[in-house]
Amino acid sequence: MLSAETDGYGRTTMRAMILTRPGEPLVMTELPTPEPGPGRLSGAAVLTP
């Protein structure tokens, strides 16, 4: 699951569900949104039930 948000300082962050070890539950982590490099595009996927 990914979700992009802007924090109070104008930085964009995303929430990601991270698998730390097989068999363990996913852990929600807030990370900086990666910036695309030269000649690359960024995209987002939205999952709905």
Identify whether 7 is part of a domain: yes
| pLDDT score of 9 | 57
Q: Domain span at residue 26?
A: 2-32
Residue 39 in domain = no
| Six-digit token string for 18 | 């991270």
| CA 46 to mean position of chain CA atoms | 11
Q: Is residue 47 part of a domain?
A: no
Domain total in the chain: 1
- The per-residue pLDDT for 47 is 73
> What confidence score (pLDDT) does residue 7 get?
56
pLDDT in tens, 24-48: 999 999 888 877 889 988 776 777 8
Residues shown for the chain:
49
Query: Contact 4/14 with Cβ under 8 angstroms?
Result: yes
Q: Classify residue 14: in a domain, yes or no.
A: yes
10-15 average pLDDT score: 75
What's the CA gap between 42 and 2, in Å, rounded?
13
